[in-house]
Amino acid sequence: MKMFKTAALAATTIVLATATLAAPLKLTPANPQPSGLKQGLAVEYAYPPDVKSLNQANRALKRAKAGPALSGLDYRDTLDGDNTLTAKQAHNVVAGISGYVKFDAPGTYNIDFLTNDGLDAKVGGQTVGYFDGRQKCFETRAVQVEVPQAGWYPVDITYFQRAGTACLHMRAGQGAPEWMPDAAFGH
């Protein structure tokens, strides 16, 4: 009987832990809510001789300089040799991106990104997009988040592009993720 109770308790613990892991990540809105924002996102660039990981990207960002603002997060796959985002070169680019994203309604959202190459994206204090490596323009794992209120949420992204083509997109939706319009971002 004792063994049965122990097994039942262990099974219940596993079920509760799984449910907790599957719960949406709760985003924290900006406090206070910003006003008078410019459209788009602020960006700082670094141009290391080579970059293959987020660890290398974060080290390179210590020497970053401000670049032209991003219009949003809808940068389609480039041709090899086209500049990455608003950077002044195509390859070995590291971007530190900051600002805010606006959600018009509270609720549960699914967020994902398309990225080429590495990405560590935080919104409202939670990691909502992550890939540490090199790849063609491909989506990250979708993350379910809870947006407790309509308004602006802080965005903090580390992104790197090594060689070849480049892309960076954010999608979010209360059902299937949809492209985020440029107007949803401010800095």
pLDDT of residue 21: 55
Inform me whether the pLDDT recorded for 20 exceeds 80. Answer: no
From CA 41, how far away is CA 39, in angstroms rounded? 7
Task: Give the model's confidence band at 17: pLDDT under 50 very low, under 70 low, under 90 confident, else very high.
Answer: very low
Q: Which two tokens stand for residue 53?
A: 């990981």
Inform me whether the pLDDT recorded for 15 exceeds 60. Answer: no
User: Which has the minimum average pLDDT: 5-14, 41-50, 57-66, 150-159?
Assistant: 5-14
Say which residues have a Cβ less than 8 Å from residue 108's Cβ, sequence separation at least 6.
24, 144, 145, 146, 147, 174
Q: Distances from the Cα of 181 to the Cαs of 39, 63, 75, 185, in angstroms? A: 11, 30, 11, 8
Is the peptide bond prior to 32 cis by the omega test (within 30 degrees of 0)?
A: yes
Task: Give this prediction's pTM.
Answer: 0.87
At 60-118, the pLDDT tens digits run 999 999 999 999 999 999 999 999 999 999 999 999 999 999 999 999 999 999 999 99
At 28-42, the pLDDT tens digits run 999 999 999 999 999
At 122-158, the pLDDT tens digits run 999 999 999 999 999 999 999 999 999 999 999 999 9
Inform me whether the pLDDT recorded for 12 exceeds 50. Answer: no
Inform me whether the pLDDT recorded for 9 exceeds 90. Answer: no
Domains and CATH numbers, the chain: 30-186 (2.60.120.1560)
